[in-house]
Amino acid sequence: MEPAHAANKASSLQTVNGYADLADLALGAPMVVEAEIRKTYRIKAKESPGIPAGHGRYLVTAEVVRLISGRDALPSRINYLVDVPFDSRGKLPKLKNELALLFLKRGQSPGQMVLTGPHSQIARTEEAARTIRAILTEANANPRRFKITDVGDAFHVPGTIPGESETQIFLRTSDQRPVSLSVLRRPGEAPKWSVSLDEMVDESSAPAGRDTLLWYRLACFLPGQLPQSSVENASPDEAEAIRADYRFILEQLGPCARQIKP
């Protein structure tokens, strides 16, 4: 439950609610914490070199409200450094009493934490908190995480009747998992695509639902165009059909809209 004073005012923190951004942040952080900022101390540039242009640096003291993800216990109050942009008046925002979502790793001294990146302190919104919990719940239920590293070979097979065909596109992954994409076309029916995460491919395989980890791994990491190497062994007609089916899959996935550049 948000404190009333936090719920009734606009946050000075960056608001991030998009699935892809939150997946980038949450999956890359050893700890995800909901906290309330209690105190900030402005650190001068001469005392802490490396502050980005247009930013100021705070040493933040925050009270932990909830440990969303992480195996280690945390003290009730933590400290961390954060670089925040100046506003239009050239001033740093006041962050005291702000509710934040923090993506952290441990620092070298007790109670000292380190943000995992420049955007790892964001406003705590109900939407962001809910999405992060869903991402981490799904990730914990499927601990074998993989990342698409390349597109492998692709094949196109015409069916027994005109207008019928099947395309299969194999993906290379970080854990050597046998992932493949398929597009099935039949006369008088809308084309159907599916993704398989094992060596057996059948028509019951489902497409990746929007705003799921599987969708994220495909929509955000598949290349925008099918590599030429994927169709080296295909005839010109087969290669064109494979490229068309690959574009169809990308269209069905939709864009990986990111607010934060990875």
Sheet of 148-158, strand order: 148-158, 165-173, 179-185, 192-196
What single-letter amino acid sits at 105? K
Q: What are phi and psi of 154, to 5 degrees?
A: -135, 150
CA distance 69 to 122: 16
pLDDT given at position 177: 82
33-61: average pLDDT: 93
- pTM to 2 decimals? 0.88
What single-letter amino acid sits at 64? V
Contact 104, 28 (CB under 8 A): no
Share of the chain above pLDDT 90, in %: 73
Q: What are phi and psi of 47, to 5 degrees?
A: -90, -15
With 0-12 / 13-18 / 19 or more C-beta atoms within 10 angstroms meaning exposed / middle / buried, residue 38 is middle
- Range scoring the smallest mean pLDDT among 67-81, 121-135, 235-249: 67-81
CA distance 245 to 182: 9
Contact 209, 194 (CB under 8 A): no
Eight-class DSSP state of 112? B
- 4-141: CATH architecture: Beta Barrel (2.40)
Nearest CA-CA partner of 134 in 217, 68, 89, 195: 68
Concatenated DSSP letters for 231-253? GTTS-HHHHHHHHHHHHHHHHHH
Which residues lie across from 32 on neighbouring strands?
A: 69, 103
- Residue 241's CB is within 10 A of a number of other CB atoms, namely 21
With 0-12 / 13-18 / 19 or more C-beta atoms within 10 angstroms meaning exposed / middle / buried, residue 156 is buried
| Residue ranges per structural domain of the chain | 4-141, 148-253
What's the pLDDT tens digit per position in 218-246? Answer: 999 999 999 999 999 999 999 999 999 99
What's the pLDDT tens digit per position in 143-166? Answer: 667 789 999 999 999 988 998 999
Contact 182, 168 (CB under 8 A): yes
